[in-house]
Structures are given as C-alpha cells and as structure tokens.
Structure 1
Amino acid sequence: MCLLLAALALAGGKKRFAVLFALLFFPLGMALPRLYESGPDPALSALEGKRITVAGSLYENAQKRQNGSVKIPLKIESATHGDQTAPVNAKVIVYSNGHENLAYGDEISVRIRARRITGFKNPGATDYARRLAQSGVFFTAYAEADKIKPLGSRERSGALLRLVNGLRRDYAVFIRQNLPNSQAEIVNALSIGEKSALDETLKRKFTTLGIGHLFAISGLHVGIAAVFFFMTVKWLLKRSEYIMTRFVVPQIAAGLTIPAVFLYALLAGFGNSSVRAAIMAAVYLVAMISGRRDDRMNALAAAAVIILLFTPNALFEPSFILSFSAVAGILLALNRFGVKNPESGENRTLARKTSLALIAVVFTTAAATMTTLPFVVNMFGVAPVLTFPANIVAMPIALAMVPLCVVAVAVFAALGFVPEFLLSSLSLLSVTLTAVAEALFSLSPAISVPQMSRLTFALFYMALAAAFFVKRGRKTAQVAAAVLVVCLTASATYDFRPAGNGETEAAFFDAGRKNIALFTFTDGSTVLVKGGFSRKARSAFIGSAVVSRALLAKRITKTDHLILLANDQSQLNGAAALIENNSVENLWINGAKLNNKLWKTVENYGVTWKKIHKSPPVHDISKNGATQLKFLRLEDFTVADSRFPRPVILKIVCGKTSFLLMESIHNIHSDVEKFDIVDIVENRELRSDLVFLPEITKRNKNALLRLVRSARPSVVVCRMCKKMFGENPTFEIRETEIEGMVSVFTDGEQITRTEVFSPRRHSVPQTRAPYLREATQSP
C-alpha cells in the first residue's frame, strides 16, 4: 500500500511524499509476511512420518525435473491412516518417477510418508523451508508411480486455468517427443517458461555468462511478443479499407494486443517477471490508446503493487528482486544518460539502425548488470566477466526464437501439433544458442567472489544513486561519488571481520546425511572433506548449492585439498560442481575411478587428483610440517563393487591437536557386520581431540561407540547422537542437525572454543574456556 501511495505521489509530482511512503513500505514488507505466516496443518502434522493414503488435487502442473523425477504440487483434502480418515487442508510437494502429464486441477490418490521440510543452517544458505512455508508448503514426500492413482479432473476448478495448464502440459510433452532432450528443454523454457527440466550444467553456464535471464520469461520476451502481436494485428487491420478509413489503426491494434500479452504471460506460468512485464506493456499500450505520454517508472511501480497485493511474499523471491532491480536500473539509466536522437526512423540507414541497436543492447546490459550485481554475487557467488559479448551474441538469437516460439504455441493450440519446418527452425536456433554459450564459457567467463557485506551493499547502491541522480557539473557531488567508489572497492577487497587470532577453524556443516567438514588453517590453506555414501544417484545439490554458497559466505574462493571419503554419484557430481564454482588444486578419491562428468571437469580445470588407497599414509600439507593428513586404512580389505568406498579414517593433525573423520562402511558392505577398525588401527593412532561421526545406524552403532572410547576426544560432532552416549558423557557433544554448522577452533595446542552458526547472528560462541586434553577420560 505504501508503494502504491509512493507511485501516486510521484505521479502527482510530490517527490518528498514518495520517498516517505517508500521508506515506510520496506519495514512493512519485512513485517507483514511474518504476520501472515501460518503453521502446518495439525492433522497432517500428527501423521508425519506415518504411511498414509491422501487424496487431493494439483494446485499447479506437474513438472519434470532435470534428474528425471517429477514434482507434483498437491493440495491434500483428506488423509487415511489405518481405518480412520481425517480432513486435511495442506499443500505437499510429492516427488515421483512418473505421471509428468498431471495438470492443474487433476485429482489423485497417493500413498505417502509426509516429511517436514527443513533447511540447512550454514553460512550463505537459502532458507528454502521458510520460502516454501510462505507459500503454505510445509511437507514433502516421495511416491512410486504405481502408488499414484489419478481420479480425474476437478470440474469446479477455474476453466481458463485448466485449459491453459492443459495446453502447457501437452505442448511440453509434444516438444520433448519431437526434439532432442537439451533442445526440447530450451524451447519449452522460451515458449511456456517450463525450465524445471533444464540441464543444471547448462543453466549454470548461462548464469555464469550473465545470460541466464533468457530462460526466464521476462521483459525481453514479453516485449518481443508484444511488438510481434502489435505489428501482426496492425498489418491485418490495414488489409481492410473499411477499418483504415474509419478508425485509428494503431490504437485498435494496441487495444487488441493487451489481452494477447496477458495470455502470453499466462501461458508462461504467470511468474513475477512475466506479470511485471505484461503490466508494464499494458500501461504503455493504454497510454498509446489514450494519446498520453507514458511514465515507465509509474508502470513499474504499478506492476510491483499488483504483484505484492496478491503475493506479498514475492518481495523476498530472487525472481522478483532481480527482475525489478534490473528494470529499475535500465529506466534510471535511460533517464540519466539517455540521448535523444534527432534523426527520424525513416531517415536512418541500415548501418545506423544496426549501430543504434548494438548500443541499446550494451547500454541496457550495463545498466541491468550494475543494479543487480550485489544480488547476483550473493545469490550465485559469481561476477560475470563476459556479460556484454554474451548478451550481444545471444540477444539476436533470442529475438528470432521468441516470435517463433509464440507461433509454435499458437499453431499447437489450433492444430494439436507443430509443423516440421517450425520445429527444425527452433532446433537450429537452440543448438546455436547452446554452442555460443559453450564457446564463451570455455573462456573462463566469470570469477567466484565472496558474498558482499551489508556495508558493501550500502556503499554500492550509494555510488549508483550518486551516478543516477547527481546533476552534471557539480564537482562536490562528483568528488563524493568518487569517494564512494573508493570505499566500495576497499570494502569488497578487505575482510572487515575480526581476525582469527592465529587459530585453525574446523567447520562441520549441517548437510543432512552428508558428512562435510572444512578446515581453514592459519596459513590460509583449506581442506574440504566430504563423506556420506548414498546408493541412489542423487543430484549435486549439496555440493553446488549448500557447500559452494557456504564457502563464498566464509570468503573462501580457493580449496587446496578436496577429499571425498565416499564415491557415490552424488559425491562425484558435487565435486564437479565445487571445482567449477570454487578453485580446487588437489582432489582425493576414496575409490577406483571418476565418473565421466568429474573426469571432464578435472581435465578442463587442471586439478591434480589422487587415489587414497594408493597414496602414502601421511602427507604434509603445510610448509613447516605442522599440519598433516593421515589416512588410517585397512590395506587387505577387498571391495567387491568399485562403486563402494573403502574403509578409511582420516586424521588431520594441526600442531598438537588432531581431528578424526571417517566414512562408515557398515551400511554399505554386507560382509562387515563384525568389522571394527579399532581392531586394525593402534589406539595411539586413534587418539584425537575431536571425532566427527558419520550417520549412526543399528549396524554401525557399536563400532562407533568403541571408536569414540579409543579416541578419547574432548568434542564429538555428529548429526544426531546425544542419546547414544547417555546422560553424562565426559566430552562435549555437538549436533549439526539441531544446532546448524558447528565451528571448532584450536591454537595448535588445544581446542579453545566452539561456535554454532545462527542465521540471524552468524556465529554464536558456545564455549570460551580451553579444553584440557588431560581431563578427558574414556566414556
């Protein structure tokens, strides 16, 4: 509401009131979502973790994901457990291996085990749980395709929405059946905004190049579509002499273009960026119809108001932030630096038109890049370097593809298929776009940068404000702008956090069943350890999203040693993502081979990789020999399947302090029921100040208990293990799933303190007194 008043005040020329309303809007925007947040449905909460049969309808189309699974957004109305059925009103995201053709309004019955969505508590982590909670989603579940029973379509659902979503679903299926996978997903993304199945590697390359916006239906796409609709309707109307002699053709064409633009936005999924662009286009067209001069900033404000009235939580979504900041930057830059060309359009030569178009692309790209740079850095951890050439090359391809995609959707809606020549054209353009991205990406188009601090944010936008609003010729203002730029550069390159006082930090991540630890030594070198074997071929989400973001949040852009204690596909794919996002020098593998993706990544980035079971047991990783890696392994153990890791314990020695980490094999190999590494390794090798335990199960519980007794640690870090050690253990226990990321500090003599990560207050000290090694006893 405050933003609406601000827009009206601007329209009335009262800028002081506009600023006041804008300042009021932001604290209200931060507070309102908290007021409207509701908890999970009590009935479903009582059934959490139990096998239940639920019935409900889809509130969105089912989406095929890049890993082949299907995401089914389901609104549950009833749940049956045993012989009792209870009414439920809850949204659940169900993942399955089939039924990608389910659409909005379809009713289904499915047997699931609902799980509460929880986010990871690490630096730089996106709070997915809260983001989904703001949309009313608190639970997730998995169901095999044969457990899902379609019950038909709900007639009382909106007829238009069912029609549009059915068209989107059928079009996406048709394109996937008639084009190769990568080309089909690009066409679907540019046609109907369906990008859930896009290859993650391809999306990362486009994002790194600064052209990821091509896959999100936004102002570029809606603008091209609006011009296409307008010119087509105008050309058709001019065919009629009756209309030409009695009406103003451009005004009629503008009026007919408005519903076409909103229909296009609806076909594109009605996301924030497409709605914003459609509203702005509509305001511009209404101004054309009325003969008045349009105000683009007011149009942008109106678009924001309309979106936030219906979805207040959109204020915190990346798509909303990036979309509106980019357009605002372009409009402010045009207002400040735009130069009116006295030449009329008819007198311009082809070369002149081409040069002006090129200048427009460079200008808008620069404005959008500068205004969104802090958000891009903190959201994706990269600063694009080749944004300008990438956009200059990719824009013409997009200008050609978007109208063809619009025609393809229209033809499919009318005929039920897309002609072969149109499919061939879209295929050729998508191949060209991919080839351009691959070629530019090979030139190292971006650099990984740590997240910006709040001070950096403030200085950055103060510098932009000085550039946009300071009038020319005022030397004082220009000097102030220069000072801001200097301060910005200093804040971006200097770490204002307190120094570590010469201490080594061992950070243990909250990463679910994955065991991830980061060691940062006093000389600046780093060791990242990843474990937690999984039989399922999962995605690289933990490596690419959780670990990479945490490293950048801790201002770490280089990893000296990446050690994989597990060698399943998710670990290998996650390692490839880490190498791409963060500089890695040495890679250690606890297995016989790499998969194809990791092998190519290692070759492309020149990473040195070694096999743990074929390397010497002790490695000095510091110049003075104070820091060592020790691999305690069972030499004569035979692995029947090369996909499984070997039994190994990693011991990291820092001065007189040591840390013990291991990958449990009791949950992997069926022939190690009685295996206990304590029988193989001498107790003096197991003695450590800290033990980081893998996931505890019935099969490995006794072995891990014996390991802890032999290690005699001061601190035990685990996912959840307090119950296992009784009420009065003689060592401190830290649980990452409960407390979040745990940081342990040592001065080389002893452990000095531990901290747990708080998303709001960052690291919170938990222990200030040093740990005394002599005081520790066997539990």
Structure 2
Amino acid sequence: MKQLKLTRILSFTSFAESTAWNRPAIPLLISLIFGILIGNARPGSIVVISIAAILTMCSILLSIIRKRPAIVSPVLLFLFLGYLSIQPWKETNLPSSHVIHHADEKKKIIAGIVLTAPVSENHRSRFTLETKTIGHGKNQSHITGKLRVTVSGEIPDLRAGDAVALKGKIRPIRNFNNPGGFDYRSHMAFSGVHAGIYTRGDQLQILEHGQIIKPFLIIESLQKTISNHMDRSISGEPQQILKALLLGDRFAVSDDLRESFNRSGVAHILAISGLHIGIIASAAFFLFTGILSRFSFLLWKARVQKTAALLSILPILFYGLLAGMSPSTQRAVIMVILFLMTFPMEKEHELINTISLAALLILVCFPPALFSISFQLSFSAVLSIVYGLSKIDLSPADRPNRWKAFRRKFLLFFLVSFFATVGTMPIVLYYFNQISLIGLFSNLIAIPAIGFIVLPLGFLSIMLLPASPVLSSLCIQGCDFVLSLTIDIIHFLADLPFAAIKTITPSILEICCIYILYGCLLNLIGRKPAQENLQDSPLRKKTVQLITGITIVILTADVLYWVHTRFLHDDLRVHILDVGQGNAALLEIPNGHTMLIDGGGFANNAIFDMGERVVAPFLWNKKIGTIDTVFLSHPNSDHMNGLIFIARYFHVKTFCSTDDQASSQSFLELQQTISEKGIHHPSFQELPAIQEINGVTIQILYPERSLDGSKDQQTDLNNNSLVLKITFKDRSFLFPGDVMATGEKELVANHGRGIQSTVLVAPHHGSKTSSSTSFLNTVDPEYIVISCGWKNRFGMPHQTVLNRYADLGCRVYRTDEDGCVSMTTDGTTINSN
C-alpha cells in the first residue's frame, strides 16, 4: 500500500517519460506567452497579426478536413492570439468620454461606483472607482473609465458597490522614469486604471449603498463577522497573521512583522497561494474520503475518491472567496480544482500538464497576469518543485522501518522547500533584491506550524462559528498559542545580522541563463529514478552538456562586461535621477568610484520611501552595492529622506554634509543609521575644500568657511546648501543644492569665474528665488538640468527662470519631462540622453 502511494507521488512529479509535445498544453502555453511578450513590447500591428491568425485557423481547418495532423499551426495560432490578446491593455487612444481627458489642475466633482473595498494604510485609504459623471448641475456630463482614489483622514464606511461622489484633482498615472524602476503606469493600465485622484475624507460622500451582486455582499458581511470575532478572541501580531491567512487581509500585517517574515524567508506564507489552497484541499479530501468510505455502495463502485474530490472543491471555493480571490489565490484554486477533476475523469495525475493547463486558462482569461509578480513566483515555484522532484529517487528502502519512513518524508518536505526557494530566487532577486540566507531553516519551522496547524485550525474555527462561537474561540486561542511561539522564533531569526542580504538586480539575460543552468545541473547530477535512467542516451547527455557549456560562456561574458562597465571605465558618468520634487544624482567616477549627491524624498517615508522605491532600484540595476561617498546638500526632506534607506542597506563608506541640524524625525533617523552602521561622518570642518579622485576634482564652493574652519551660518537651510563643483579635465558639473539668490551672490563674489561649469543642476528646482541673472551669466553653462516634480504645487520651475535659461541659449533638460538625465564625458565632449 505504501509502495503504491509513493509510486503515485512519483507519477505526479515525473514528466521525463514523455516529451512536451505529447502534452499539447505545454507548447501552446509557451507560444501564448511569447505572443503576449511580443505584443507588449511591440504593440500596434493588429491588422497584420489578425490576418495571420485567420490564415492559420484556415490551415488548421484544412488539416482537420483532410484528417492530417496539425503540429505547427496551433502553435503559430496561439502566438498570434497571444499578441492580439494583450492589445486592449496597450491602447493609448482612449475614448473621448474617458476620465483621463479631464486631468488638469482644477478640482472636479466625480460620481461613480466603488469597485474595490477600501484598503487603509498610514492614515490613507485607497480604492478603485468606476466613474459615471463629472461636474454638477447643468455642467454635469457622463464619463467612463476607472480612477485610483486616495483619501486622507477618516472615510465613511465604504463597501464595494456603493455609489459615491468626491472632489479632487484628476492626475494621470505616472512613473518615476529611471532605468531599473518599477513601471507603475503599465501595472495600473493592466488593471484598466489610467488616472488617479486625491481627496480628503470630508470631501467624499456616499450617495447610495449596496449596488453590488448579492453573493459578494454576503461574503463581505461574513468577512466582517469573522474579523470581529477574531478581534474579540485574540490581539496583537497573532491576530494580524490569522487575518492574513484566513481573510487575505495582508494589510493587517504591520511593517515590522512583514519585514521579519521577509528577512527570514517565510513571507510567502502571508500571501494565500498554492500552499494554503493545497492544505485545505488535502484536509477536505481526506475528511470526505474517511466519511464516504463508510458507505459500502460507494466502495463497491470505486467512487469514494471521485466523490471526495468533487466535494473538496466546495471548501476550496469557499476559502478562496473568503480570502478575497486575489490573483495568486485564483491561480491556486484553478490549479487544485484541475488536479481534483482528474479523479472523476479517471485521468493520470500529471502535474506538469495540470500546471500548464492552469496557466493557459489564466492567460487566456487575463493576459496581463503574465506580468504579475505573484503569477511568476507561483508558477516558477511549482515548476521547480515538480521538475526537481522528478530528478530525485525517493523510492522506499527494501526493508522500510519507521525511522527510514520518517527520514524519507522529512527529505521530501525539505526538498520541496529547497526547490521552491531555488526556483523563485532569480525572480525574487529581480523584484525584491534580497536573499534570505536562513530561509530553508525558517521554512522548516514556519510551514509546519502555520501551514499544517494554524491554517486548518483557523479554518475549522470559521466552520464552527455559526454553530458554536465558544468552540470557534477555543480554536482561535489554539492558533494564538502556536502563532505566538512561531512569531517569536521568526523575529529572533530575522534579527540575526546574516539573516538576509540585499543584492544587485539581475538582468533578463542573467535570469534566463540561471534557469537554464539550473535545469541542466538537475539533469546532469540529479539522482534519477531507475525507469528514467533507462531512457537516458549519450546524445541527450551530450546535448545537456553542450547547453551547459554555452550558458556558462554567456554568463562569463556577461560578468566580464559588467566588471568592465562598473570598475574599469575611464569616463565620468553623471545621472540626475527623476525623484519628483527633490534632488538625487549619481556620479560614476573612473575606475569604479561612486558618489551620491542627495537622495530625494517626500515628507513621510511611511507613505513613500524614495530611497527604497526609486534610488535603490536605480543603483541595483547598475550593479552598485557600494557608495564610496554620499553628499547631503542640506537636511530638507526632498534631499535627505531617500538617504536613510541607502545608508541602511548599502555599503556607504563616507557621509559628507554641513553641520546643520533639523528637528525632523527623518533627520534623527538618518543620524542614528549612520552611527549604527559605523559610516565615517566627518564634520564640515574636516571636509577637504578640494580633493581629487581618479582624475576627477571635487570642490566644496559653499558655504564659506570662517578663519577657524567652520562655515558661515545662514538662517535658512536652503542658503546653507553644500555647493559642489565636479571637474573632469575640460568639463565640469555644478551642484548648487537649494541655494537661493543670497547664496548665489556670495558664490559670484567669492569665486567669480571659478564657478563656471559646463553643466548646471538648476538651483532650488528652478524656483524664482534662485537662478539670478548674475549667477547664470557667471556659470555660463552649456546644459541645465532641472530636477522637479510634474506639475508640482510650488509652480517650479518658474516661467521667469525658464526665460532666463532660454536667454542663455543653453540646452535645458527636465526630469519631470525627460526622466533620468544621464551624461557621459571623457573630459572633452559630453554625451547626453
């Protein structure tokens, strides 16, 4: 019996006995994926591709009529269909009635239907609104399209389906346009959202409740009932985890707890996916099997497992709906249901086929799912597990005993965790730039405790709630006990200094090479089941070895390219980043020395951390993990707040600034981080006025120093900005921070033509309080770069200043229009983007 069970398990995971072409879902899926990718990268050729698709369908019909096999035609058809399927989400010419055409600087009254339940975080709530009308009274008109609504402060008790009216400014969804940055605009476009609106709670009014389909209203009511029951039964971090596990409320988890789960490598437990659905499905299947096996007529007709599989679909669907049916949950539900359906259909359990079919169904229904992080992680994990286990011989020993059986089960559990971790690692590095070094060990604790104890017990508490709230509370108390112990262990592991490390971003080429090498190594060194060894041929081994060798050569060339690009270049590269209304610039000095001048930032890092979301991804994309020198011009949030993350997670050697102090919490946090990380932070008096690094001269021109070496103090932080001039042979760059007219006057008086520069970063974002005529004439730049936010509330750059720049006859770049401005110079000429 045990031998039969293990044989069935191996049959689930083994797909080496037949090729992908014997499973039509696999080539069709691959073809559809390539079609979607091509359609996303090169949209617009709808007519040509449609004609090609029609001709291909005719070819398939002709093959059917002639009773001939059609092998290539279906693959081509799915390639064309994949291209066409993504086109509606790439459409840029939206209808004239779309809300995006009303985006301007005027506040508008918008009415519509709430599509998603509000999600609250950091005193803000967000939801999606299906717009209906704009304006009021005689000026009211009908509009279409979705809005991403952000509400500050308290909001009414909103539910999906409510009709609401609100007032605010409509703004198109925009990106921070830097290499390596997250494409937020495409992400929202895939959800059908092209614009957003910001409003206050007192400017939002509910017009009518309950314009929603009744079943969804029942689910929402049930979610609130269960949530309130949890609030009465437990509190603190266990409550947060339980809500995430049972209700899909990941926003209930605090940032600190989430970071601990991330660092310990068990964050996947917080997102309801295949693990959770699989556990519920297994528990339901074995429960129904045990109950139905007592009915003899089902046993006689061998229908116990068939009926149990069908009945197990009900709790799976209920759990998925209760958890909100997020994309990862939807994929898991589809995959598990397809697997369960193989029982009544009496099909062989072939996981690779089930996985491919599930992915195919998801992409046919919603092509943009391909670009979802959760989609990529889910399927890479499952495919890695299935393929990895197919290369491991897990046959039972000739003389099995309890110890050997336990050891085999433990090995299987460890291998599942190992293959899932390895299979998702390249994608995790690409999106999150972090590796948990203790993830395998942490999962050995977290998955059994949370997955096999807390999740089933918590689900049981939900089932018991209508009949016996007392028993339901007891189950929740049991969850509380197990979760408290587990969370304490996770916090301890996460606090270890070696728990996790931040990494550079791998390129798409590198990710492909890593996956190819991973598959080849499994084929070459994996212990294969005996039946697979019989099929191995010298030609197959040589082919795998050849692919391995070619991949290693490509990876080696890639490494050499990046070593040369990063450390062996002989030019000066200057990048002024798009950080909105702020400043941040990266300098790549010859032979790999890196310098960061300011880090951008918004007033509250809890709402948006510029260092984490914008500056760090740009640096990681350029394979930079070490910053030799950081300069902070002055401690205002739009220059300083992004540096907190950089100081904490990058290897910063020296931090340079004036001695100005600020009373903000961000300034104190930055100082504390510099101290904790042991970053060298000389006083302003200790900073050299001029130094040379690899042929590049760095001058501190301002603030002026007194005879005792200290700086002359100004009352305004902007006028105390650190002004740097970077010179490489005949070319130079001037970074004046937020210095204003008073400071500019001193610079001209004290340095004269010494401030003349080829490139000027506009002082104070192009404010009318800076860029005085005498200062501009003295600098006499060929290029001016304005770092500012798109249509910012300060009106920068001011038109008067733009006119002065035009009078100079120099070329002007703006980060709000041009994105990141990159310039490269050999000391004689300058190349700019």
TM-score range (shorter-chain normalised) is: 0.7 to 0.9
Q: Aligned partners of 1:138 and 1:414: how far apart in 2?
A: 46
Gaps spanning 5+ residues in structure 1: where? 1-9, 667-673, 757-779
Deviation digits for residues 108-160 of structure 1 (CA, Å, limit 9, x no counterpart): 211121111111221111211012112110111221111111234334x2221
1:618 maps to a residue whose letter is A
Q: CA contact under 8 A between 1:544 and 1:581: conserved in structure 2?
A: no
Matches within 5 A, 1:559-574: 559-567=627-635, 574=642
Q: How does 1:265-414 map to 2 (within 5 A)?
A: 265-341=320-396, 349=402, 351-352=403-404, 354-399=406-451, 400-411=453-464
| Residue 459 in structure 1 maps to residue 513 in structure 2 | yes
- Residue pair 1:394, 1:436 contacting (<8 A) in 2 also: no
Matched with 2:582 is 514
Whole-angstrom CA distance in 2 between matches of 1:295 and 1:16 = 10
Whole-angstrom CA distance in 2 between matches of 1:82 and 1:650? 54
Structure-2 change in CA distance of 1:45 and 1:477 (3 Å): closer
Question: Does structure 2 retain, via aligned residues, the 8 Å contact 1:618–1:631?
Answer: no
Q: What residue in structure 1 maps to residue 248 of structure 2? A: 193
1:154 to 207, 210, 230: 210
Matched, 1:687 2:761: no
2:590 counterpart SS class = coil
Tell me how far apart the structure 2 counterparts of residues 267 and 570 of structure 1 sit (CA, whole Å). Answer: 42
The structure-2 alpha-carbon separation of the partners of 1:88 and 1:338, relative to structure 1 and needing over 3 Å to count, comes to farther
1:312 to partner: Cα distance: 1.3
Q: Is the 8 A contact 1:563 1:589 kept in 2?
A: yes
Residue-by-residue CA offset, 1:676-698 (whole Å, 9 max, x unaligned) = 54246624353333221256476
Q: Does 1:659 align with 2:733?
A: yes
- Structure 1 residue 450 displacement after superposition: 2.8
User: Which range is displaced more, 326-335 or 225-234?
Assistant: 225-234
Gaps of at least 5 residues in structure 2 are: 1-16, 40-83, 525-532, 706-710, 789-796
SS in 1 for 2:580: coil
Alignment deviations for residues 69-114 of structure 1 (CA, whole Å, 9 cap, x no partner): 2112211111116751111222111112333852221222111211
How many residue pairs match? The answer is: 728
The corresponding residue for 1:678 is 745
Q: Give, as a single letter, the amino acid of the residue that structure 2 aligns with 1:753.
A: I
Q: % of aligned pairs identical?
A: 20
Partner of 1:608: 680
Residue 499 of structure 2 corresponds to residue 445 of structure 1: yes
- Please say if residues 719 and 739 of structure 2, whose CA atoms lie closer than 8 Å, have aligned partners that are also in contact: yes
Give 1:774's aligned residue. Answer: none
- Equivalent-residue separation in structure 2 for 1:298 and 1:508 (angstroms): 49
> What residue identity is the alignment partner of 1:439?
F
Taking structure 1 as reference, are residues 734 and 343 closer, same or farther at Cα in structure 2, changes over 3 Å only?
A: farther
2:561 to 471, 495, 500: 495
Aligned to 2:594: 526
Q: How far apart in 1 are the matches of 2:537 and 2:302?
A: 49
The one-letter code matched in structure 2 to 1:149 is Q
Q: CA deviation at 1:553?
A: 1.0
Counterpart of 1:89 in 2: which secondary structure? coil
Match of 1:71 among 126, 145, 149: 126
What amino acid is aligned across from residue 367 of structure 2 in structure 1?
P
Q: Distance in 2 between matches of 1:29 and 1:632?
A: 55
Deviations 1:520-569 (A, max 9, x none): 11131211122557555653432112111111111111112233335456
Q: Is the 8 A contact 2:766 2:786 kept in 1?
A: no
| Cα 1:496–1:585 shift into 2, 3 Å | closer
Matched, 1:754 2:807: no
Q: Does 1:104 align with 2:160?
A: yes
The structure that has the greater radius of gyration is 2
Check whether the contact 2:701–2:747 (CA below 8 A) recurs between aligned residues.
Answer: no
Amino acid at match of 2:720: P
Match of 1:15 among 7, 10, 22: 22
Q: CA RMSD in A?
A: 3.7
- The separation in 2 between residues aligned to 1:707 and 1:82, in whole angstroms, is 52
Q: Give the C-alpha shift of residue 213 in structure 1.
A: 1.3
Superposed displacement of residue 280, structure 1: 2.2
User: SS at the partner of 1:288?
Assistant: coil
Matched, 1:622 2:701: no
Residues of 1 paired with 2:401 and 2:810: CA distance? 80
In the other structure, the counterpart of 2:528 is none
CA–CA distance in 2 between the matches of 1:571 and 1:417? Answer: 55
Match of 2:285 among 198, 213, 230: 230
For 1:547, give the aligned amino acid: V
CA 485–427 in structure 1, closer or farther in 2 if over 3 Å, else same: farther
Cα distance in structure 1, aligned partners of 2:413 and 2:682: 46
Answering whether residue 139 of structure 2 is matched by residue 84 of structure 1, we say yes
Aligned-pair distance for 1:11? Answer: 9.9
- Separation in structure 1 between the aligned mates of residue 557 and residue 439 of structure 2, nearest angstrom: 23
Q: Which TM-score applies when normalising by structure 1? A: 0.83
Question: Residue 519 of structure 1 aligns to a residue in which SS?
Answer: strand
Partner of 1:775: none
Q: Distance in 2 between matches of 1:588 and 1:366?
A: 43
Whichever residue aligns with residue 809 of structure 2, its letter is T
Q: Is the 8 A contact 1:60 1:73 kept in 2?
A: yes
Q: Is the 8 A contact 2:783 2:811 kept in 1?
A: yes
Partner of 2:57: none
Moved more, 490-499 or 182-191: 490-499
Over 3 Å counting, the alpha-carbon distance change for 1:214 and 1:713 in structure 2 is same
Contact in 2 for aligned 1:222/1:261 (Cα 8 Å): yes
Secondary structure of the equivalent of 2:592?
Answer: coil
